[in-house]
Every structure is written in structure tokens, then in C-alpha cells.
Chains A and B, each alone.
Chain A
């Protein structure tokens, strides 16, 4: 049982990576990015290209892929999504939904429907013994550690740096933030860059952990949503807890019966939605 919970917790690290970028975008600009999952898969395929052409380890490939995705995010926000500002909640949903379909089809055209995997050279199967009964995989452990480090970095960024302050001010009151000299369009570009930089890490870690295809994105989006909502919208550390709860629920479900893993996650999500729709940590320190 402890083993199951531990494995779920580690899986939660991966979900937290997906959820953080989504939560950040929603917190700063109140936009739901429906292409979030597909963008993570795009990052995984970019890593495949980098690994195959340059012969790099996927972890090293992130040094190229994460900045590339961040640049893509800045461009996507400033060239397309900023045009939708001030037109209500629906246009960003429709545009990011369309983007999701475009990305999936472009990936299908370019990389075929074959499933892929990133090979990090052994670390994905290595494990660390914790006593005689318990062992955890090095790779899931690294995933969780990276998720925690990214959250600590983001926390520092948002609470200490001038740009992070501007994120919070814009999230509170966009018009007044503009009056203080904050260029919200540029700021939204930075937020999307940060979000996609983090989602690139999530996508590559996913690709190392399991196989993926051009159509793996929507599932990732769903899990990210569930983690964000379980943890509480806009709460940075809640996102980690939400990811962990989801991961544990899925692992316990899968333990009971191999087909019940995803179902277990959905059920816990529904229970949280019924009993505490604001999420577990809605009143904790807000991202925004």
C-alpha cells in the first residue's frame, strides 16, 4: 500500500508539471489554453528530432527544446492570442481548440501515427531501494524533484521579481496595472513563454516515461485540468498536491484492476468537485 501511494505521489510530479503551465496562464490572463496538452506532445516530438539528429540524451535535448517552446509561446501569444483580448471568454477557447486540432494533424502528417518514446539511456529503468520491501524508480523520483524545483523557481519569480509582481498586479486588476506602466500584451507573451517552457519539460518527461503519439495531447490536458481543479485554481502549491492526489488515485485504481487507473483519477476528481469545488488549496497563497 505504501508502495502504491509512493508510486502515485511520484506520478503526481509529472501531472504537476503539466498543470503548472495551465494554472499560470489561467492565473495571469484568465485564459484556458485547450492546446496545452498538444503543445506538450509537440515538445516531445521536437525532442525526438533533436535526439535523432544530434544524438543527444533527451534531458540534454531539453536545453534546446524548452527555449524553443518558450519562444513559440511568446510568438503565439503576441501574434495570435493577444488579438482576442477584451472579447470575452469564448474566443480564446475556440482559437486554442482549433490550435489543438492543427497541432495534432501537423504531428500526424510529419511523424505518422506511430507511437514514439524517448530513451534516456538506462535511467528510466534504474531504481533506488528504500529498505528491503520498497523501491522507487530513479526517473519518477527525478520527475518529482524537477517539478518541485520548477515550482520553487516559479514561486520565487512570482513573489520576488518585478516581472512576477507585474504578473500578480495584472491578474488582480489589468487596467490599473496598465496605468502603472505595465504593458499587458508583452507580459502575457512572457507568461505564455514561461508556461510553454515548463510544458516542454513536462512533454519530454512524459516521452521518457511512456510512449506517446500525435493524439496523446488531449489526455494530458484532461489530467492537467483535474490536477489544477483538485489543488485549487490559481494556487501554485495546490497544483503539486492536486497532481499528487490524482497520481495516487490513478495508481490505487490501477492496483485494484488494471483498467481502473484513469477511472480512479476521474472519481477522485468528481468527489473533490462535489465536496470542495474551489479545490483543496483555494485559500492558500495565490499564484495571482
Chain B
């Protein structure tokens, strides 16, 4: 059975339709990639799954239950945690306080402050500093660590490499691989295709609010991905 099963999801901002009948599956322990250009609907999709946008209940099923339309905090209780685009570190909180906010619901699980510090030693060094004093890459680590503190069954990571230097992106992907190896399912959104194809077991390409391609990375050629990505 799928951990996350999205069926014919449509989503709107007022009268503007951002998603058209999108379907997606993610199994327990799997890493799923969502790729696509700006404005393809990737973020809208994550926001629908994470409970920021109201969507019909049956459109999103998690661990078998219809969860569409639940509030974000109810989804966090069930183990759906989203790391938002642009990191969104809380500026008036220290690094450690940012992490602790991630554990606000006290959902039990394997991730603790100590284990997140093991994963990101730089955060332990800077624990007392304001979260926004960190570099972009460190802030992305903090945002991921903060998400892990919620002990997710499914971690949604939006635009993981946006605005980061290639060497930093490699570090972040190494960590995502570790998280996946620990058994946490992840759904990672990125515009940069190169790294994510090595990480994911399943890839969805979004274009203009629909899924233009899906499959296992090994089965997809560069030409097919390029065609689905750009629509040429």
C-alpha cells in the first residue's frame, strides 16, 4: 500500500487553477522526486499535501486515510512535515530554538536534538546564534533538521538546491541520502535534475500544473525528461 496517494488533485488560488488532476504515489521508505520548471505547480502540490491549501479530503490519502483539507498541524501529528521553499528560518529564534519549534507536537520517533546535531555538526557549533546568521547552505540544513525534529513519516522538501552553491548542494543531497537510508520517506522538489535523479526511486515531472512524465530514473532518458520538463 502506498504511504502517500494523491488522486486527481486540482488546486486553485482564487479563480486561478494551479493544478489539474495530478496523481502521485509514494511508498513507505521511498524517495520520490518532483521536478519541473518555475510555475509548474510543484510548490502548490506540496502545499496541498501539507495542509496549507484546502483540498478535497479524498484527493490526498496518507497511510490509507483521506487527509485532504486537514490543517497543517493535524498532518504534522500524522507524520507529514514540509520544509518550505526559501528555508523560512525564524529570525528571532536561535538555531537550537528553530530546531525545538520543529518538535512542537512532540511526535515520538527516532529524531532528537542530539541526532540532528550528529547529522549536521555545524548546527551544534552554532546552536546559540540567531538562525538567520547562518549561510544559505547552513540555513537549508537547519530547515531540514527542523523538519526532522517533527519525526516525519514523510518529509516534503521544497526547492532543495535553489540558490545554493553546487558544493553545498552535494552536501545537502548526501544528508538526504542518509535520511532516506534511516527509513524516512522523502518527497523532494528540485529544479536541478542532475542530483535528484541519483537520489530518487521514482520521478515525477510537472509542467503547467499537470504531471508530464513519471517513472523510475533508470527507465527515463535525458531526452524524454527534457521534453517533459520544457514541453518541446
Contact = CB atoms under 8 A, between A and B. Distances in A.
B93 interface: yes
A162 B102 CA distance: 11
Nearest to B146: A180
Contacts of B97: 165, 168
Given A165-B100, A165-B101, A176-B84, A181 B73 contact: yes
21 contacts: A162-B104, A165-B101, A166-B101, A168-B90, A168-B97, A169-B93, A169-B101, A171-B92, A172-B90, A172-B93, A177-B101, A178-B51, A178-B52, A180-B81, A181-B72, A181-B73, A181-B77, A181-B81, A181-B107, A182-B73, A183-B73
A78 to B, nearest CB: 14
A176 B93 CA distance: 13
B105 interface: yes
The winner among A162, A165, A173, A175 for most chain B CB atoms within 10 A is A165
Nearest to A234: B92
Contacts of A171: 92
B71 interface: yes
A168 B150 contact: no
A165 B93 CA distance: 8
Interface residues of B, number: 25
Interface of A: 162, 165-166, 168-169, 171-173, 175-183, 286, 288
Contacts of B39: none
Interface in B60-116: 71-73, 76-77, 81-82, 84, 88, 90-93, 97, 100-102, 104-105, 107
B92 A181 contact: no
Given A162-B104, A168-B92, 19 more contacts: A165-B104, A169-B90, A169-B93, A169-B101, A172-B92, A175-B52, A175-B84, A175-B88, A176-B88, A178-B52, A178-B71, A179-B72, A179-B81, A179-B82, A179-B84, A180-B76, A181-B105, A181-B107, A181-B150
Interface string B127-151: 0000000000000000000100010
A178 B93 contact: no
